[in-house]
Amino acid sequence: MKLIMLDLDGTLVDTSQDITNALNYAGEPFALKKLTMKETISMIGEGVTRLIEKSCGEDKPELRERVIERFLDYYSAHLTAHSVVYPNVKETLEKLHAYRKVVISNKRENLSVQLLDTLDLMKYFDLVVGSDTTAEKKPSAVPLLHVLEKFHALPEEALMVGDSKFDIEAGKRAGVKTLAVAYGYGEKQHLLEADYLIDSFDVLPRILDMNSSKLI
């Protein structure tokens, strides 16, 4: 086992309040429904375009582009106003120095890097792959296969860690082991197909140690 691929929003960082604020700001001039954080969480996971489509309707392409522009302007300027690193994440990443670690997010690459850097997480990662880094995003296997190729790793040498069904589906399609975190945005019933399910990030090293013979 030498490569750990991790989702960002809902896995490493709780970004739900800042995304909710940006959505409500973006939709305000167009009289779009004001969203609660719970409603936003239910829509997070497929990237900005799908997020906006869900909030303003898929049958309004012209409106969608205007809302996306306002969303990105506001969100870029308030990226970490309320976002926080989940408990035990930094301490656990410190212990995983023996592994290559990559963030694979459906957030755009520049925003992912900015978020990680501002929250002092970037130093733990060898690479960041965003929704616009490869031709496809999760749940496609493409971003994971891109990472495997870049680090000359076999699928059986890698683990995908995430909080949503999109992370688990991408991992399965890429042929890597999958680990779901139950504290994130995804509903637990959608995570049951993962190879492992944990309630706290600090359990990750124990899973790696205890199951190393199975994962390699």
Residue 126: which CATH number? 3.40.50.1000
* Residue 81 structure tokens: 């106003």
Boundary of a domain, candidates 24, 47, 77? 77
Strands in 13-89 per DSSP E: 13-14, 84-85
Same domain, 169 and 207: yes
User: What total of structural domains would you count in the chain?
Assistant: 2
Let me know: does 15 contact 115? Beta carbons within 8 Å.
yes
Same domain, 33 and 128: no
Supply φ then ψ for residue 138, to 5 degrees.
Answer: -55, 140
* Residue 78 structure tokens: 């308030």
Give the CATH number of the domain where residue 29 resides.
1.10.150
Q: What is the pLDDT of residue 59?
A: 62
Contacts of 57 (CB under 8 A, 6+ apart): 63
Same domain, 181 and 122: yes
Cross-strand partners of 13: 9, 85
Instruction: Give pLDDT < 70 ranges for the chain.
Output: 58-60, 211-216
Q: What is the pLDDT of residue 54?
A: 85
pTM for the predicted model, two decimal places: 0.93
Q: What is the pLDDT of residue 138?
A: 97
- Measure the CA–CA gap between 187 and 189, rounded to whole angstroms: 6
Same domain, 70 and 99: no
Same domain, 107 and 41: no
Same domain, 170 and 195: yes
Cross-strand partners of 160: 5, 178
Same domain, 141 and 165: yes
Same domain, 127 and 170: yes
Its domain, for residue 182, covers 3-14+83-215
Same domain, 88 and 53: no
Helices (H) and strands (E) in the chain, counts: 10, 8
Same domain, 113 and 146: yes
Same domain, 194 and 164: yes
Boundary of a domain, candidates 27, 59, 77? 77
Report, as residue numbers or ranges, the catalytic residues. Answer: 7
Boundary of a domain, candidates 77, 99, 121? 77
Same domain, 115 and 32: no
**At 139, is the secondary structure helix, strand, or coil?**
coil
